[in-house]
Structure 1
Amino acid sequence: MIRAAWDRLRLFNIGELFAHRGRTIMSMVVMGVSAGLLVSVFSISGSITGSVDKLTHSLGGNAVLEVSGITDAGFDQTLLQQIRTVPGVAAAVPMIRQPIGADADRALLVGADQSISQLGTSLDGALKDQAGKLLTVPNGVLLGKAMGHKPGDKFQLGTLTATVAGVLDDSAAGDINGGHIAIALLPVAQKITGRVGRLDSVQIVAAPNTDVGKLRSALTDAVAGRAIVADPALRTAQASSSVMLVSYATLASAAAALVVSSFLIYNAMSMAVAQRRPMLSLLRAIGGKRGPMVRDLIAEAALLGLFGGAIGSVIGIFAGRQAINQLPAAILNSVESRTQYEVPGYAVPVAVAACVLASIAAAAIAARQVYKVAPIEALAPVGTSTADAVKPVLRWTAAVLGLAMVVGAVVVARADVGKLSMAGISLAIVGSVILCFAATEPIVRACAAIARLFGAPGALGATTVERAPRRVWATAMTVMIGVTAVVSIGNATRNMVSAAGDSFEGLAGTDIFVSPTSMAQFPTGPLLPSDLKATLQKIPGVADVGSAQMAFSTLGSGRVMLQAYEGGAARTSALDGVSQPDLARLAAGQAVVISRDIARTLDLHPGSSLDLPTPTGIHKVQVLKVIPYFAAISGTVVLDLDVMRQWYQRPGETILGIDIAPGADHAAVMSAVRAAVPADIHVTTGKDAVTAISSSVRQGTSISNAILWIVVLVATVALLNTLMLSVLERRRELGVFRAMGTSRRFLLRTVLTEAAGIGIVGALLGLAAGSATHYLATVALGHAIALDIPYHPTPLLVVYAVVALILALLGSIPPAVRASRLPIIEAIAVD
């Protein structure tokens, strides 16, 4: 039985794949594109979360819990003794963990003592072998090879001049942060970071037979809100939220490409059925059953999806490496680990499985043309078969289902459920396709009517359209989906970028910003030199210097960004409209301002009480105001700078805002500021800061936009496939026309008018569906990033639709040329 099935598949299906290499390659290419896009998207998020997870396991070893600082300021080292006395704690390993350097030089400084040997990590052996060097070399550090230093080198590290005591080999440090790591004894690391007497983390090794849940509760009571007690995986979970918005947007675009590819596979299998109709009819006439024929066609499509998905996945692995470099620096630098590109284990199997399932589903629909027809009917053209007719029950069912999905899309998009609101975009597009299935007949008639507008060639093209309604509908849908995706998601992301840029326009009111990193990265640290503000205030032409701080903090199970301001040049739109009495409450530490996404997650509203965990304990504050604020990476809590310094034990500032005195020479003041600031600290104007932030947001959407245009290119291939099928089906007919004296130009125009009818109708449907989905996408993105995004329909809607249509119509050229060049004798003799 199995041997017979394999022989049948090899002779009648696999053989046909090799006989029609062009169609086979084309089908595999589009499935490969879809698989490549999916692998790239999975690799983007997997690289960030995987890098954090790998670092967590490399440093945590067999620790079951971690006590970590609420912010990067850590917590008081006196907590260590209290932690060690908690029943069930076999070992408590203190650590300093702080990113150092920036951009290409970004690394991680780790400080630990001899108790690290109880974690069983790869650092254990390295520290044992080279501990003597760390003890004998003043301010000595061990570096990974990727740091590019040799033993004995001296370089500035934080507040000290460090000496390279040794270089770790790849076996010891190659997997830890990609070899970009510096290891020091705990006291040295505390001096380097300027945090003597403070810790960032304590890794907890449980005693045998200890209940981890009870141990967590006991540790939570011991730290009394001054630190966070959680599974080591908390760092990975918080890192995943940083890239979640980009992942959702790119995944939606990649899914659109997969849907379009499914329609193309449907057309490819329809083409296969059309070409093999004489063979299939013969097999039916001699007693062949329909079931095995259908199963063989489905198996053939599965092979296309399997090989196309496998090849595309390999390409996607390399494409993902390039895509990770397109992510905004704010996302990459929001986690402590250095992002190393890696493909998650599930990426390739899921991508290939998605391609295979999509191919099977599309082929199953196309195979109905074999399964539903009688043997004698199999000799007729596909379009005249009863298999192409849509039953009324199916049509009404599709109408009800499509309408329900569109209504559901509106509800989901408008519901304030955060990033999940973006599911409404995909739901709306799928619902539109199902509604169009219910309207197959009017859509096909519209395609034929447009074709007839082009005279005699159009009349012949219209007849061809009417003979294959299901295939024409499928092709129109590929064009529609491409146009809808570009118009809706493309314009919605444009609105988002514009709204995000507008929300930071208030920064332009400050003349100069000084920060440790670019303003586009949300400068959260390290702290600026303590004497820098006083130095800048003495520069001639400087009217005022205001301080501000940004820092990531843990609130609940998520991560938020603390923003603290004082009066003066450092301004924020977050406090616009806040009255003086309320500002006084803010300054007294009685209230805070929170962003909309935090309010949604924690079920808060103005007037609610909020327990704010800090290194000095839990402080109960009132929510003064809930604000829309760009929260693509994390939510925001705004408080007074002095309060933050006191509660979070984080003196100093990460941002200095400078106002230039009226009449002063801006260029001269800027030059003086640059001269007074250390070389590794960023100096930028307020206007440039706004531009940098807007560019960073735009960069984050560039991957999604690129995928959308790939969807349009896939739609182009789909139109090419459909018209090639039309030419193949009518080969004898076209040969007769040529024998009767019809010119090549007439036949070429016939195919082009057929393409015009399908493409224009698909583009118009896409423009209509895309315009409506554009509004839903704008609302959904607003909920996803906790920001009010104005809906701005622009003429670009039509421009995008026209460009997408032109690209799609390019697919009509090869089949039109082939139709005009058919050899008359061979065409007539084909049957």
Structure 2
Amino acid sequence: MIRAGWDRLRLFNIGELFAHRGRTTMAMIVMGVSAGLLVSVFSISGSITGSVDKLTHSLGGKAALEISGVTDAGFDQSLLQQIRAVSGVGTAVPMVRQSIGADENRALLIGADQSVSELGGDLEGPLKEQAAKLLTVSNGVLVGAGMGHKEGDKFQLGSVTATVAGVIDDPAAAKINGGHIAIALLPVAQKISDRAGRLDSVQIIAAPNTDVDQLRSELTKVVAGRAVVADPDLRSAQAGGAIMLVRYSTLASSAAALIVSSFLIYNAMSMAVAQRRPTLSLLRAMGGKRAPMIRDLLAEAALLGLFGGLIGAILGIFMGRSAIHQLPAAIVNSVESRTEYQVPGYAVPVAVLACVLASVLAAAIAARQVYKVAPIEALAPIGVGSADTVRPLLRWTAGILGLAIVTGAAVLAKADLGRLSIGSISLAIAGAVVLCFAATDPIVRAVAGVARLFGAPGALGATTIERAPRRVWATVMTVMIGVTAIVAIGNASRNMVSAATDSFEGLARTDVFVSPTAMEQFPTGPLLPPDLKDKLRDIPGVGGVGAAQMAFATLGRGRVMLQAYEGGVARTTALDSISEADQARMAAGQGVVISRDVARSLGVHEGSDLTLPTPTGEHHVQVLRVVPYFSAIAGVVVLDLDIMRQWYQRPGETIVGIDFAPGADPAKTMAAIRAAVPADIHVDTGRAAVTAISSSVRQGSSISAAILWITVLVSAVALLNTLMLSVLDRRRELGVLRAMGTSRRFLLRTVLTEAAGIGVTGALLGLGVGSAVHYLGTFALGHAIGMDIAYHPSPLLVAYAFIALALSLLGAVPPALRAARLPIVEAIAID
């Protein structure tokens, strides 16, 4: 029985795939593009979280828990003895972990004592071999091979001149942070980072037979809010939050491509069923059952999805490697580790499975024709049998379901569910497709009506259109989805960039910013030199100088960005509404201002009490205001600068804002500022900072935009494939027309009018649906980034629709040329 099933599949299905190589190739290409997009999206987010996770496990080894600093200021080393005294703590390994350098020179400084060998991580072997060298070299460090140093080299590391005591080139250790590591004894690392008596992390190895949950509870009581007790994977979870918005938006765009691919498979399988009607009829007349025929068609579709998905997955690996370099620097630098490109283990299987399922589902809908056609009816031309009609009950059911889906999408978009609200965009598009299925007949009539506008060739094209309503509807949907995705997601993203840029316009009020990293990266450290602010104040032409701090901190299981300002410097427009009374309460340490996403995640609102864990213990404050703020990387907690310095033990500042004195020469003053600032510190004008931040936001949405235009190209391929199938299906008919004297030009125009009818109708539907989804998308993206986004329909809506339409119509050129060049004798000879 198995052999018979295989022979039937080989002869009637796999054989057909080879017989129609063009159709098979097109279907596999489109499915491959979809799989490639999915793999690249998974790889982008997986590279960020995977790099952090890899570093965490390499350093943490056997640690069951990690006690980490609330911010990068760490916590007091005196807490270590209290931690070691807790029952159930087998070994407590203290560490200093700090990022050093920037951009391509970014590395991780690790400081530890002899107890680090008990963790059994990737550093265990190299440290056993070379740890003794650290004891004999002043300010000695072991460096990874990626640092580019050799033993004996001296180089500036933090606040000291370090000497390379040894180079770690062990294969396992070389993978840690891409080999960009510097390891020192704990006191030396504290000296390098200028943080004497402070720790960043304590790795906890539990004693045998210890209840880890109970141990976590006991340690939480001991640290009393001065540090964070969590599983070692907390860092990975927090890193995932930084990339989540990019992941959701790109997934929504990739889903559109997968839906278009499904329609192409539907069309291909519908044509396959239509072309095989004589064969299917013969099998049915000989006693063949419908069920095996259906299973064979589904297996055929599964093969298309499988091989297309596998080919696309390989392509996606390379696409992801290219896309990872397009991520905004703020996202890449917001995590501790260097981002190394990684393809998660689930990426390829999930992408291939999605393609297989989409193919099988699309084929299952097309294969229903086998059930609906009687043996004698299967010999009838396309459009004559009942297989090409839709029952009224099914239409009404689709209409009700479509309305329910669209309503659900609207509710999801309006509900403040954070980044989950982005799902409303894909849901709304899906609902529109279901509604269009209910309106198949009017849509097909509209396509035929557009074709008839082109005279006699259009009339012939309209006849062809009306004979294959299902195929025409599916092709219209591919065009509609491509245009909808561009109009809806593209314009909603543009509105988001505009809103984000407007929220940072307040930075332009400050003439110059001095920060350790570029302003678009949200400078959270290291702290600026302590005497720099006074030097800048004494420069001729400088009228006012203000300080600010930014720092990432753990709040709950999430990560927020602490921001504190002095004298109004570096304020964003969203924070201008804070009243003087609220500022006074903030200065007294009684309250804070938080962004919407922080309020949502913590379940608090204006007037709620909030407990902030800090290195100096827990502090109880009131939520004074909940403000909109661009929170694509992390939510924001705003507090007074002096309070932040006291509670979080971070003296100094990470930003200095400068205003020119009245009548000062901006060029000369700027030159004097640059001369006074060390070369590795960034100096930018306020306007340049706004431009850089808006460019970074735009860069973050560029990946999604690229995927959208790929979706339009997929739609063009779908139209090409469908029209080519139509031409091949009508070769005999076209040959008869040529034999009767019809010109090649007439046939060329006939196929082009079909494409015009499909393209124009699809583009108009896409423009209408896209505009509605664009409106919903502004709410969804607003909830995702924690701020208000204004809906601004743009004249570019129509331009996008025309561009997408033009790309789609390009797909009609090859089939039209094929029809015009069809040899008469060959066409008539076909049975």
Q: Which bin holds the TM-score, normalised by the shorter protein?
A: over 0.9
Aligned equivalent of 2:378: 378
Change (3 A) 1:172 1:347: closer
Pairwise CA distance, 1:752: 0.7
Residue type of the alignment partner of 1:354: A
- In 2, Cα distance between equivalents of 1:294 and 1:814: 32
Conserved? CA contact 2:60–2:119, under 8 Å = yes
How is 1:509-528 mapped onto 2 (pairs within 5 angstroms)? 509-528=509-528
Pairwise CA distance, 1:568: 5.3
Pairwise CA distance, 1:720: 1.1
The yes-or-no answer on 1:563 pairing with 2:563 is yes
Q: Secondary structure at the match of 1:620?
A: strand
Conserved? CA contact 1:69–1:201, under 8 Å = yes
Residue type of the alignment partner of 1:485: A
Aligned equivalent of 2:683: 683
Q: Which region of structure 1 is more displaced relative to structure 2, 259-268 or 566-575? A: 566-575
Residue type of the alignment partner of 1:44: I
Aligned equivalent of 1:656: 656
Q: Deviations over 1:63-92 (max 9, x none)?
A: 000110000000000000000000000000
Q: Which region of structure 1 is more displaced relative to structure 2, 294-303 or 266-275? A: 266-275
- In 1, Cα distance between equivalents of 2:512 and 2:637: 24
- In 2, Cα distance between equivalents of 1:377 and 1:823: 30
Residue type of the alignment partner of 2:627: I
- In 1, Cα distance between equivalents of 2:734 and 2:172: 72
How is 1:92-491 mapped onto 2 (pairs within 5 angstroms)? 92-491=92-491
- In 2, Cα distance between equivalents of 1:644 and 1:573: 21
- In 2, Cα distance between equivalents of 1:154 and 1:299: 65
Conserved? CA contact 1:170–1:179, under 8 Å = no
Q: TM-score, normalised by structure 1?
A: 0.99
Residue type of the alignment partner of 1:35: A
Conserved? CA contact 1:574–1:638, under 8 Å = no
Conserved? CA contact 1:723–1:812, under 8 Å = yes
Pairwise CA distance, 1:381: 2.0
How is 1:32-71 mapped onto 2 (pairs within 5 angstroms)? 32-71=32-71
Aligned equivalent of 2:829: 829
Q: Secondary structure at the match of 2:390?
A: coil
RMSD: 1.0
- In 1, Cα distance between equivalents of 2:71 and 2:252: 34
Residue type of the alignment partner of 1:709: W
Conserved? CA contact 1:67–1:228, under 8 Å = yes
Pairwise CA distance, 1:172: 4.7
Pairwise CA distance, 1:384: 1.9
Residue type of the alignment partner of 1:626: V
Q: Deviations over 1:582-621 (max 9, x none)?
A: 2111111111110011111112122111111100001111
Residue type of the alignment partner of 2:553: S
Aligned equivalent of 2:744: 744
Q: Secondary structure at the match of 1:384?
A: coil
Q: Which region of structure 1 is more displaced relative to structure 2, 174-183 or 14-23? A: 14-23
Residue type of the alignment partner of 1:174: A
Q: Which runs of 5+ in 2 are unaligned?
A: none
- In 2, Cα distance between equivalents of 1:279 and 1:624: 75
Conserved? CA contact 2:501–2:690, under 8 Å = yes
Conserved? CA contact 1:510–1:571, under 8 Å = no
- In 2, Cα distance between equivalents of 1:364 and 1:830: 29
Q: Which region of structure 1 is more displaced relative to structure 2, 734-743 or 11-20? A: 11-20
Pairwise CA distance, 1:297: 1.5
Pairwise CA distance, 1:370: 2.6
Residue type of the alignment partner of 2:794: T
Q: Which runs of 5+ in 1 are unaligned?
A: none
Q: Deviations over 1:316-372 (max 9, x none)?
A: 011101111111010011110111111111000000000011111111111122332
Pairwise CA distance, 1:569: 3.8
The yes-or-no answer on 1:593 pairing with 2:593 is yes
Q: Secondary structure at the match of 2:811?
A: helix
Residue type of the alignment partner of 2:152: G
Q: Deviations over 1:493-524 (max 9, x none)?
A: 00000110110000001111011111010000
Conserved? CA contact 2:495–2:792, under 8 Å = yes
- In 1, Cα distance between equivalents of 2:649 and 2:827: 85
Q: Deviations over 1:456-477 (max 9, x none)?
A: 1111111111111111100000
Q: Deviations over 1:702-749 (max 9, x none)?
A: 110000011111111111111112212221111111111111111111
Pairwise CA distance, 1:161: 0.7
Q: Secondary structure at the match of 2:3?
A: helix
Residue type of the alignment partner of 2:801: A
- Percent identity over the alignment? 78
The yes-or-no answer on 1:542 pairing with 2:546 is no
Residue type of the alignment partner of 2:213: G
Aligned equivalent of 2:728: 728
Residue type of the alignment partner of 2:725: L
- In 2, Cα distance between equivalents of 1:607 and 1:288: 74
Residue type of the alignment partner of 2:347: A
Aligned equivalent of 1:614: 614
Conserved? CA contact 2:505–2:572, under 8 Å = no
Pairwise CA distance, 1:683: 0.6
Size of the alignment, in residue pairs?
831
Q: Secondary structure at the match of 2:67?
A: strand
Q: Which region of structure 1 is more displaced relative to structure 2, 643-652 or 279-288? A: 279-288
Q: Secondary structure at the match of 1:28?
A: helix
- In 2, Cα distance between equivalents of 1:288 and 1:739: 39
Conserved? CA contact 2:503–2:572, under 8 Å = no
Conserved? CA contact 2:63–2:204, under 8 Å = yes
Pairwise CA distance, 1:122: 2.0
Pairwise CA distance, 1:8: 1.5
- In 1, Cα distance between equivalents of 2:690 and 2:570: 14
Aligned equivalent of 2:713: 713
- In 2, Cα distance between equivalents of 1:84 and 1:283: 79
Q: Secondary structure at the match of 2:344?
A: coil
Pairwise CA distance, 1:281: 2.7
Residue type of the alignment partner of 1:214: Q
Residue type of the alignment partner of 2:711: V
Residue type of the alignment partner of 1:370: V
Q: Deviations over 1:392-424 (max 9, x none)?
A: 111111000000000000000000110011111
Q: Deviations over 1:116-173 (max 9, x none)?
A: 1111112122222112211111101000000000111111111111111100013352
Conserved? CA contact 1:552–1:561, under 8 Å = yes
Residue type of the alignment partner of 2:531: D
- In 2, Cα distance between equivalents of 1:725 and 1:226: 69
Conserved? CA contact 1:483–1:804, under 8 Å = yes
How is 1:10-25 mapped onto 2 (pairs within 5 angstroms)? 10-25=10-25
Residue type of the alignment partner of 1:436: C
- In 1, Cα distance between equivalents of 2:568 and 2:713: 53
- In 2, Cα distance between equivalents of 1:823 and 1:277: 25
Residue type of the alignment partner of 2:571: R
- In 2, Cα distance between equivalents of 1:168 and 1:449: 73
Conserved? CA contact 1:488–1:771, under 8 Å = yes
Conserved? CA contact 1:570–1:658, under 8 Å = no
- In 2, Cα distance between equivalents of 1:435 and 1:270: 21
- In 1, Cα distance between equivalents of 2:771 and 2:75: 52
Aligned equivalent of 1:700: 700
- In 2, Cα distance between equivalents of 1:56 and 1:336: 10
Aligned equivalent of 1:791: 791
Change (3 A) 1:443 1:172: closer
Q: Which region of structure 1 is more displaced relative to structure 2, 54-63 or 563-572? A: 563-572
Q: Deviations over 1:413-453 (max 9, x none)?
A: 00011001111111100000000000001000111111111
- In 2, Cα distance between equivalents of 1:340 and 1:377: 60
Residue type of the alignment partner of 2:667: A
Pairwise CA distance, 1:578: 2.2
Q: TM-score, normalised by structure 2?
A: 0.99
Conserved? CA contact 2:482–2:711, under 8 Å = yes
Conserved? CA contact 2:126–2:170, under 8 Å = no
Aligned equivalent of 1:500: 500
- In 2, Cα distance between equivalents of 1:13 and 1:575: 65
